[in-house]
Amino acid sequence: MSAEGLSNLLHEERRFPPSEEFAAGAVAQSTLYDDAASDRRGFWGRQARDLVHWDTEFGEILDWSDPPFAKWFVGGRLNVAYNCVDRHVEAGHGERVAIHWEGEPGDSRAITYAELQRLVCRAANALTDLGVTTGDRVAIYLPMIPEAVIAMLACARLGAPHSVVFGGFSSEALRSRIEDAQAKVVVTADGGYRRGKASALKPAVDEAVGRSTSVEHVLVVRRTGQDVEWTNGRDVWWDDALGKASTEHAYEPQDAEATLYILYTSGTTGNPKGIQHTSGGYLVQCAYTHKYVFDLRPERDVFWCTADVGWVTGHSYLVYGPLANGATQVMYEGTPDTPHRGRWWEICQKYGVTILYTAPTAIRTFMKWGEDEVARFDLSTLRLLGSVGEPINPEAWVWYRRVVGGDRTPVVDTWWQTETGAIMISPLPGITAAKPGSAMTPLPGICADVVDDSGEPVPNGSGGFLVLTQPWPGMLRTLWGDDERFLDTYWSRFPGRYFAGDGAKKDDDGDLWLLGRVDDVMNVSGHRISTTEVESALVSHPKVAEAAVVGASDPTTGQGIVAFVILRGSAEEGEDTARELRDHVTQAIGAIAKPRQIMVVAELPKTRSGKIMRRLLQDVAENRELGDVTTLTDSTVMDLIREGMSGGSAADEA
């Protein structure tokens, strides 16, 4: 963000206090802040008892004797799936709809808690029959269909950590994740619906698993009915396996610290990191944040988080948070513009959605499509809106509230990460007078600060790096199989504090403004993609000698990927090569990592120590006057690059 953009942000004068009516009925009370401040651990202990069922009561609330390796709710035992499903049935809510699922072609399913219980039990039995036991890893590579939730809960029931891989990732990305976690079973589907077409998933699994040593079985959901290759003995149809399985399953309580799942996310270097989450602390924070940040009343709300289950937002607010709280929610398979640009609003109207949680990139897309697409539908049931995944610009915030929220709903801008497990910084609806563009303050029980280069907290009105200063229940415990990298990535920059990798500002009131990544991680449509990952994909192509990738600001997607490449001697420049390289990145990582623009250059600007000057490349990439040219060996870009290079070492980057 430019300096000017920043100072505009910090002079945001608008305030949106909750209406009296909302405040009077709000789930969160301001006493939460005092309770947490006076006894943080006790506060979390109370949340844990209040929101979660424990088969064995925990002793110590937090063991922080070996930082940064935390243990929360020590000695406690629970079953996450029991908490998300069975206990609601036992409490008499079996007939409540857990999931209103809407398929892209228009088919739909309503799954009650009682039915969900039977399905999860069947799936747990089916996985057991395939040899899955406590501690085994299960990879899940599915479209947005209920079976994704069922498979995750079945794993949780068995204490078998799942590793969900976003269905848009390539077979290569899937393979490396399967390998890293040594998954024993992969749950997938023949395909899914996307933009009005059936797209295949199974071939990617066949390719990935063909070379894997760990996978014994592939469990295949039939979604599209398309033809699939079949490996006898290895592949099993989901319907066959579940059809044979009993609807009863006796769960084993798991230790609070037992791994619930691994979820891979991009890092600045090397392979994606396997973020490791536990059962107890994670579930407590998901349930706590889902209840208070979304002002949840499970008996009357219809909650819709639009994230894909392949991302952490889907894990925490499509599966574990809402289900732990016994909520009714919506799950949608497809894209927002299929078959028309009002599809989301039609869904809101159809199910009477009361709480909507989505990403700024979606909001900006709707802004582009125009208010009329929204106005065609009755959205009067909406009473709260949430945003996540990237900084939300004040204009988008205000538009969201006015056009979607009918000028009456609170908007909660929630900051968190795959690593934090659940929401960390957010307004509390009914309490906070929110400012458009600011995530405001850490939630009760969470401690964050903004520090300068040397780790000193900055005064109000200044910026720096966001750190988390106290452990929290949903924190990642380590990176799968790599404690060293865990220590190095998050705990070495500011010893004793967690380094989030985000830049932030405190405004004059001390409220927090999150400004995006300060490392080499890009944020494209709310998805984290590392520049190094895309660079490695590019240089693995025979035509590429060297590559540098930057995230250039984009009015809709937040950032867009721009690649500068030096071709090998004999390779030809031009559109064909650019297309070939783009496809190559899609193959290697997935379509979400496909560069928006590829610029062929003769050299890359480097510092004296040989580091690529990304900031300069970013300036070049963001210069709108350059247009959409892809071949720039002799154009202004190279002049700019050269100019920058002769500018000396002042631009040496950290």
168 binds ligand WTA (CB under 6 A): no
| 499 belongs to the binding site for ligand WTA (CB under 6 A) | no
Q: How far is the CB of 590 from ligand WTA (least distance, A)?
A: 15
Contacting residues for 361 by C-beta, under 8 A, at least 6 apart: 389, 390, 525, 526, 556, 557, 558
Of residues 319 and 500, the one with the C-beta less far from ligand WTA: 500
Q: Which of 130, 312, 512, 598 binds ligand WTA (CB under 6 A)?
A: 312
Binds ligand WTA (CB under 6 A): choice among 253, 386, 445, 516: 516
What's the rounded Cα separation, in Å, for the pair 218 and 653? 46
Binds ligand WTA by CB under 6 A, chosen from 414, 432, 438, 577: 414
| Shortest reach from residue 389's CB to ligand WTA, in Å | 5
Only one of the segments 55-63, 111-119, 495-503, 548-556 lies at the binding site for ligand WTA (rule: CB under 6 A); that segment is 495-503
Tell which residue, 415, 420, 354, 424, has the closest CA to residue 385.
354
Q: Are 621 and 550 in contact (CB under 8 A)?
A: yes
79 binds ligand WTA (CB under 6 A): no
Q: Which is nearer to ligand WTA, 127 or 422 (CB)?
A: 422
Find the shortest distance in angstroms from Cβ 125 to ligand WTA. Answer: 33
Q: Tell me how far apart the alpha carbons of residues 2 and 8 are, in angstroms, rounded to a whole number.
A: 10
**Contact residue for ligand WTA among 16, 166, 399, 416 (CB under 6 A):** 416
Among the residue ranges 166-174, 382-390, 476-484, 488-496, the one whose residues contact ligand WTA (CB under 6 A):
382-390
Are residues 377 and 342 in contact, defined by beta-carbon separation less than 8 angstroms? Answer: yes
Q: Which member of 523, 525, 577, 597 binds ligand WTA (CB under 6 A)?
A: 523
| Closer of 257 and 502 to ligand WTA (Cβ) | 502
CB of 173 to ligand WTA, least distance (A): 15
Our finding on whether 415 is near ligand WTA (CB under 6 A) is yes
Alpha helix (H) residue ranges in 211-319:
238-244, 280-293, 312-314
The CA-atom distances, in angstroms, between 251 and each of 78, 159, 254, 509, 636 are 10, 9, 9, 49, 65
Cα–Cα distance measured from residue 309 to residue 311, given in angstroms and rounded to the nearest whole number: 5
Residue 298: CB minimum distance to ligand WTA, A: 23
Closest approach, Cβ 266 to ligand WTA, in A, equals 9
- 10 or 189: CB nearest ligand WTA: 10
Within 8 A by CB and 6+ apart from 261, the residues are 152, 155, 156, 161, 162, 163, 164, 276, 277, 315
DSSP state of 210: H
Q: Beta-carbon neighbour count of residue 109 at 10 Å?
A: 14
Compute CA 528 distance to the chain's CA centroid, rounded to the nearest angstrom: 8
For ligand WTA, the binding residue among 83, 325, 328, 417 (CB under 6 A) is: 417
Stretch that binds ligand WTA, among 240-248, 488-496, 509-517, 626-634 (CB under 6 A): 509-517
528 binds ligand WTA (CB under 6 A): yes
Distance (Å, whole) CA 381 – CA 407: 13
Q: Which is nearer to ligand WTA, 303 or 564 (CB)?
A: 303
Min separation Cβ 395 and ligand WTA, Å: 15
Q: Note whether 525 binds ligand WTA by CB under 6 A.
A: no
Dihedral sign from CA coordinates of 72, 457, 493, 530: positive
Residue entry with tokens 């910026």: 463
Are 290 and 357 within 8 A, CB to CB? no
The residue written with tokens 């409490």 in the block is 91
Pick from 435, 517, 543, 594 the residue near ligand WTA by CB under 6 A. Answer: 517
Q: Is 389 in the site for ligand WTA (CB under 6 A)?
A: yes
For the chain, the 3-state helix, strand and coil shares in percent, each to the nearest 5, are 35, 25, 40
* Nearer to ligand WTA (CB atom), residue 168 or residue 391: 391
CB contact at 8 A, 640 and 604: no
294 versus 416: smaller Cβ distance to ligand WTA: 416
When asked if residue 390 is in the footprint of ligand WTA (CB under 6 A), the reply is yes
**Phi, psi angle pair for 232, to nearest 5°:** -60, 140
Of 186, 514, 561, 585, which one interacts with ligand WTA (CB under 6 A)? 514
* Cis before 68 (ω within 30): yes
Which residue, 103 or 427, is less far from ligand WTA as judged by CB? Answer: 427
Which part of the chain contacts ligand WTA (CB under 6 A), choosing from 62-70, 101-109, 411-419, 607-615? Answer: 411-419
- Residue type (1 letter), 90: E
Q: Which is nearer to ligand WTA, 52 or 388 (CB)?
A: 388
Candidates 146, 274, 386, 391; binder of ligand WTA (CB under 6 A) is 391
Question: What is the spatial distance between Cα 7 and Cα 2, in angstroms, rounded to a whole number?
Answer: 9
Question: Measured from the CB of residue 439, what is the shortest distance to ligand WTA in angstroms?
Answer: 5
Query: How many residues line the site for ligand WTA (CB under 6 A)?
Result: 23
CB burial of 595-624 (b: ≥16 within 10 Å; e: otherwise) equals: bbbbbbbeebbebeeeebbbebbbbbbbee
Find the shortest distance in angstroms from Cβ 312 to ligand WTA. Answer: 5
| 127 binds ligand WTA, rule: CB under 6 A | no
> Among 346, 357, 309, which Cα is nearest to 144's?
309
H helices, E strands: number in the chain:
23, 30
- Out of 331, 347, 388, 548, point to the residue binding ligand WTA (CB under 6 A): 388
Q: Is the dihedral of CA 521, 392, 21, 356 positive or negative?
A: negative
Residue 533 in the binding site for ligand WTA (CB under 6 A): no
Selected from 413, 449, 507, 535, the binder of ligand WTA by CB under 6 A is 413
Q: Which residues bind ligand WTA (CB under 6 A)?
A: 265, 311-313, 388-391, 413-418, 439, 500-502, 514, 516-517, 523, 528
